[in-house]
Amino acid sequence: MPIFNDTKVAFADKSDAQLRKAYWMFKMIEQPALTSLGTSVLNFTVHNNFPFVTGIVKSTLFEQFCGGETREESMKVVKQLFKRGVGSIFDYSIEGKEDEETFDAVCKEIKDIIRFSVGNPAIPFIVFKPTAFGRIDLYEAVGKGAELTSSQKEEWARVVKRFDEVCGLCHEHNKKVMVDAEETWMQDAADQLCEEMMEKYNQEKPIVWNTIQMYRTGRLKYMEENLQRAREKNYFIGYKIVRGAYMEKERARAEEKGYPDPIQPTKEASDKNYNAGIDFVTNHLDKVSAFFGTHNEISSELIMDKMKSRSLENGNPHIYFGQLYGMSDNISFYLSDKGYNVAKYLPYGPVKDVVPYLTRRARENTSVAGQTGRELGLIKKELDRRKK
């Protein structure tokens, strides 16, 4: 949309050299075959400690999409974003590990983030993935209502404890916490845990926020049922509303195991469902707050229009916009410039531990129609503007 085309605002903090590097990188990501091969090689070389490759990754992909290797290192980015009215959400992006020691370590890291961010409005949300606190197979078993063994029951109790410790600490320090959504086959258990945490900690305001993937079928119905529960039990709801990121994996698994495809049949259907989610939230702001995670310009403008039609101020505390760091600066900085609440996901962690996240992000970019091309077009437009 034309309102999001001001590249001078979008890239005000970027030097010509930074823009040229970003252009080169998005150009590489634009090629699906190259991305597929490159991500496989990248995971192997970084995992096996090839220092030269690690250095290249840090100065390219990592620099574009991550804040730093530590929270302290990332604060430079946090402060830079907040100068322009954009908050940061520390995303400790360690993926692919499934042992109790790692679950405890990540839980400790999340609690450290909470304490680190107390009193800092530049860090408005805490975030974690359910599978950072427990095995995906265990979530699936609990969600299906399977009979758990005694050791599985103990294991699940530890997952619940990690959730409760993080949500309780956020409640104590008045920090909002978002629980990311993942694959459908583990989501029922995660939803149930989020509902329990909301009932416990959202009595006065939305502290705990669940994530709703609108490319899924049945999510609007779920939100309506959860609203009814919230009214009956007198708690507030926080939602992060996203489209979703596991489409190919979800469809392949549904076909393999012979159950109905849980994903909307077309992109148009997903967009319609996302828009219905916008309507749902803006119709129930007495109980529901939302963080609209989207890189879609049409959705962003629709949210703005809905707010205007309801005479809501741009900085209404119940509505946030969010994008990933390193992407869609044209949306983020336009919105912040107009006084809307905006925050970017800011991944951090050791380079070799963050590579699985970075490669997943690169693959997702190639599968989102138009995303990489739009980034390239905006960067080129700004570089051309600066030459005049």
The CATH number of residue 344's host domain is 3.20.20.220
Q: Please determine, for residue 74, whether its predicted confidence score (pLDDT) is greater than 70.
A: yes
Strands (E), the chain: 86-92, 125-128, 176-179, 208-213, 237-242, 288-293, 319-324, 342-348
Looking at the 3D structure of the chain, how many domains does it have? Answer: 1
- Model pTM score: 0.92
Domain-embedded: residue 37? no
pLDDT in tens, 116-135: 999 999 999 999 999 999 99
Domain-embedded: residue 364? no
- Provide, for the chain, the percentages of residues in helix, strand and coil under a 3-state DSSP scheme, each rounded to the nearest 5: 60, 15, 25
- Say how far apart CA 281 and CA 283 lie, in whole Å: 5
**Which of 234, 246, 224, 242 lies closest to 320, judged by CA?**
242
Domain hosting 324: range is 67-353
DSSP character at residue 209: E
Contact between 236 and 200 (Cβ < 8 Å) = no
- List the structure tokens of 126: 């805490």
Domain-embedded: residue 382? no
CA distances for 186 relative to 65, 142, 248, angstroms: 27, 8, 16
Which residues, listed in sequence order, are joined to residue 126 by a DSSP beta bridge?
177
pLDDT, mean of residues 54-64:
79
**Which of 229, 226, 197 lies closest to 212, judged by CA?**
226
Largest Cα separation within the chain, whole Å, is 70
**Looking at beta carbons, which pairs linking 53-57 to residues 24 or more positions away fall under 8 Å?**
54/351, 54/352, 57/351, 57/355, 57/358
In sequence order, what are the residues at sequence separation of 6 or more whose Cβ sits closer than 8 angstroms to the Cβ of residue 256? none
Within a 10 A sphere around the Cβ of 311, how many other Cβ atoms? Answer: 6
Contact between 307 and 314 (Cβ < 8 Å) = yes
The mean of the pLDDT values for the chain is 90
pLDDT in tens, 220-263: 999 999 999 999 999 999 999 999 988 889 999 999 999 999 99
Contact between 53 and 44 (Cβ < 8 Å) = no
Q: For the ranges 221-230, 349-358, 370-379, which has the lowest average pLDDT?
A: 349-358
Within a 10 A sphere around the Cβ of 260, how many other Cβ atoms? Answer: 7
Domain-embedded: residue 1? no
pLDDT in tens, 284-317: 999 999 999 999 999 999 999 999 999 999 999 9
Q: What is the pLDDT of residue 53?
A: 58
Chain centroid to Cα 188, Å, comes to: 19
Q: What is the pLDDT of residue 56?
A: 75
**Looking at beta carbons, which pairs linking 229-236 to residues 24 or more positions away fall under 8 Å?**
229/195, 229/199, 230/198, 230/202, 230/287, 231/287, 233/199, 234/203, 235/198, 235/199, 235/202, 235/203, 236/198, 236/202, 236/203, 236/204, 236/205, 236/206, 236/287, 236/288, 236/289
Instruction: Transcribe 151-188 into DSSP letters.
Output: HHHHHHHHHHHHHHHHHHHHHHHT-EEEEPP--HHHHH
Q: For the ranges 39-53, 178-192, 229-243, 360-374, which has the lowest average pLDDT?
A: 39-53
More confident residue, 232 or 37: 232
Q: What percent of the chain has pLDDT over 70?
A: 89
The dihedral sign for the CA sequence 139, 178, 299, 283 = positive
Domain-embedded: residue 107? yes
Domain-embedded: residue 378? no
Domain-embedded: residue 141? yes
Domain-embedded: residue 74? yes
